[in-house]
Chain A
Amino acid sequence: MLRFYIALWAAKLAQLMLRLLGRKGTYFAGKLAIKLCPDFLGRIGRPKTLIGVTGTNGKTTVSNLLCDVFEFWGITLVNNRYGSNINAGVASALIENATLGGKCKRELGVLEMDERSAKLIYPYIKPDYLIITNLFRDSMRRNAHPEYISGLLSANIPPETKLILNADDLISSSVAPNNERRYFSISHIDGELPSRDNIVIDARICPNCATALEYDFRRYNHIGRAHCPKCGFASPAPDFALSSADFSARRMFISEGEESYEYRLISDTVYNIYNALSVVALLRTMGYGADKIASAFESLKIVQSRFWEENIRGKLLTVIMAKGLNAVACSRSFDYVGAEPGKKSVVLMLDDVFDEKTSSENIAWLYDADFEFLVSPDIEQIVTVGVRSLDSKMRLLIAGVPEEKIVAVPNECDAAAAVNISDAEKIYVLYELYRYNSAVMVRNKIAERIEKEA
């Protein structure tokens, strides 16, 4: 126990020092504490009610939405929204909210938890509720494949944790099958395509009998509703189903059995609607009234830093985060850009920042991403940027983009000059998460050119 207190006090001192130096340091204190006391997470006080959020995509958005709702209700909570989501980040958030005796000062916590860190977190910290947003392919280096992550979660999630799961995702919805669970789903919406032509569909066969699954509809990748024609296996029935949405009035209707409740639609992108729906599903499961949740939703916003759009002299210039190494996230962005009307130029800045400096990026993920969505007569030019620009060019050629439309630019400083501004009505800059500053630089140079040349 002495070891725990030494670790806690050292970590608190480190947090204080970092704060005095003006640094957030949300990772360091937790790392130090776990180094000094390996079972630190199991010893530090936790809030009375703890909510975890994990999954491949959307966990940051869901955590932020939850924090915003609770803060709207005047509840101060433990959270790691400005920090890391691995075990050290979780520890840091708890240290920050702990007394010198190690007791938690808050009643409630919302912690984003990295799915890959399951075995470092759940043996010690047992969430009362855990939202799993979805499970897709991610960095193969770190996450291997979705089945591996699903197995890791199943083996480590505490049996007493109540799960909030995406019924439209056959991989994440099958995690920890013996745990109590509630499912959320988005019904097939009028006008929605019955399927998308994706390369990666990671739930193609029945988990019971390996027969090819039949999808009633497939929204994207393996997200949709499926059944096995042989053994009767099917996507789980939802407890919370978004039954309809009015995009112009910005309303969504969520049914719970025979009842239906209305909430503000806080985004019109389907992945963010899933994120918002998971928040409703969790809060309803916790016992909060639909009216109370609906009033919080009226002021809720999804941070738009990953999507920045501006009309400059009649040309729409848009910056979109595409998340490199993550084929599904990139494909969603490609699908969006491909489907937008008008003559377009697209700038791709997808290279991994870290590999560029010290190694050489594994480009296999490019062939899981649906570059085929960029094969469109409306897309007049695609500028591939960075050290892997020639690999991206090759990927586009194999997708079917004519060579004369592709410009490979190794140096990002030259990217803006390569963009065909005069013919494009819309220009999109798609960037990898850690390349935001470069994307802004390219975007600003393009904006300057539009101001001068348009």
Chain B
Amino acid sequence: MTIEYIYPEIANLFGDSANFKYLKKSIPGAEFIETGLNDVPAFASTAPSLIYMGAMSENSQKLALSRLMPHKECLRELIEGGTHFLFTGNSFELFGKYIEQNGERIPALDILDFYAVCDTGKRYNGFFLGEHGGEKITAFNSRFSNAFPGDGVQGFAKVIRGRGLNADCTYEGVVKNNFIGTYLLGPLLVQNPLYMRALMQELGSEQEPAFFAAGMEAYAKRLAEFEDTKRELD
């Protein structure tokens, strides 16, 4: 099993590297690759089991796009072929049609049917409670942007509390085959041990995630807070 983290030097803005670190602890037998901005990605020669990327600054999005654009067709084929992707924070915006940053339209990879609009004058913060695969997802948003999906786009999690892809969207994230892109940032896998376990099973690991019992205790506490409607999102 190979897990590749794309551009960790710029795509770790909000504790996102925790996901990679937690996968390392949970699947010690896997090969873990960190691909820098000036490296040739491992996915360009062999399909990894999972490709991970985390949140980044608005300028870093432009840089990442310049590096990924030559691999656009390869990425499209990997998604079509069923490779797992987990892109957290605003990193998944790279796969849409374009990103509009404060009025400037930046062409994106145009692999998935959505576009993103970023306004650095308006920041949205808040916790998120959703449902994915029958399990509750607990996570956080802290972002300048919203995504606007086309009609056929499938979401990652149904919104129970908090914001979806945009203020009016009833779901959060975009899914295509095994590609998952989500605005939910930071240690998403640590915060959701049940989702982590399901992902590991999809990747072919039958072990329990590391520190599963401790993770479940923390998850249960957070879930109770998120379900308490007296608690504000932010």
CB within 8 Å of B: which residues of A? 140-141, 144-145, 147-148, 199-201, 204-205, 210-212, 327, 358-360, 362-368, 387, 390-391, 393-394, 397-398, 403
Contact = CB atoms under 8 A, between A and B. Distances in A.
Given A364-B14, A390-B218, A394-B190, A358 B232 contact: yes
B231 A398 contact: no
Given A212-B38, A359-B127, A360-B225, A365 B15 contact: yes
B87 interface: no
Contact of A397 (B13, B36, B125, B211): B211
Contacts of A148: 57-58, 120
Contacts of B232: 358-359
A364 B222 CA distance: 13
A145 B59 CA distance: 11
Contact of A393 (B22, B36, B218): B218
Interface string B40-55: 0000000000000000
Interface string B8-29: 0110111111100110010000
B39 to A, nearest CB: 10
A368 B14 contact: yes
B144 interface: yes
Contact of A210 (B16, B38, B57): B38
Contacts of B187: 363-364, 366-367
A363 B211 contact: no
Given A147-B57, A359-B231, A362-B186, A367 B218 contact: no
B37 A359 contact: no
Interface string B142-160: 1010000000000000000
B140 to A, nearest CB: 4
Contacts of B12: 199-200
A394 B217 CA distance: 9
A390 B211 CA distance: 12
Given A145-B57, A148-B57, A210-B38, A393 B15 contact: no
Contacts of A200: 12
B191 A205 contact: no
A46 to B, nearest CB: 28
Nearest to B24: A398
B9 A362 contact: no
Given A141-B123, A144-B123, A363 B191 contact: yes
Contacts of A364: 14-16, 18, 140, 142, 185-187
A362 B191 CA distance: 11
B115 interface: no
Given A199-B17, A205-B10, A147 B218 contact: no
A391 B59 contact: no
A82 B72 CA distance: 55
A211 B36 CA distance: 10
A326 B58 CA distance: 21
Interface string B85-100: 0000000000000000
Given A359-B234, A367-B190, A141 B22 contact: no
Contacts of B190: 367, 394, 398
A200 B14 CA distance: 10
Interface string B181-224: 00001110011000000000000000000110011011001100
Most A Cβ at <10 Å: residue of B10, B63, B214: B214
B114 interface: no
Contacts of A366: 15, 187
Most B Cβ at <10 Å: residue of A211, A365, A367: A367
Contacts of B21: 367, 398
B38 A362 contact: no
A140 B57 contact: no
Most B Cβ at <10 Å: residue of A148, A200, A359, A393: A359
Contacts of A201: 9
B140 A362 contact: yes
Contacts of A393: 214, 218
A398 B210 contact: yes
B9 A204 contact: yes
Given A359-B233, A364-B140, A205 B15 contact: no
B226 interface: yes
A13 B13 CA distance: 46
A144 B58 CA distance: 11
A393 B211 CA distance: 10
Given A205-B37, A390-B217, A360 B222 contact: yes
A398 B37 contact: no
Contact of B59 (A140, A147, A403): A147
A360 B221 CA distance: 10
Contacts of A144: 120, 123, 142, 144
Contacts of B13: 140, 145
Nearest to B21: A398
A356 to B, nearest CB: 10
Contacts of A145: 13, 57
A170 to B, nearest CB: 13
A200 B144 CA distance: 21
A199 B233 CA distance: 28
Nearest to B15: A367
B231 A397 contact: no
Contact of B17 (A365, A367, A397): A367
A399 B218 CA distance: 16
20 contacts: A211-B38, A327-B15, A358-B231, A359-B233, A360-B222, A360-B225, A360-B226, A362-B127, A362-B140, A364-B14, A364-B142, A364-B186, A368-B14, A387-B225, A391-B218, A393-B214, A394-B214, A394-B215, A397-B211, A397-B214
A397 B15 CA distance: 16
Given A212-B36, A367-B190, A398-B190, A362 B125 contact: yes
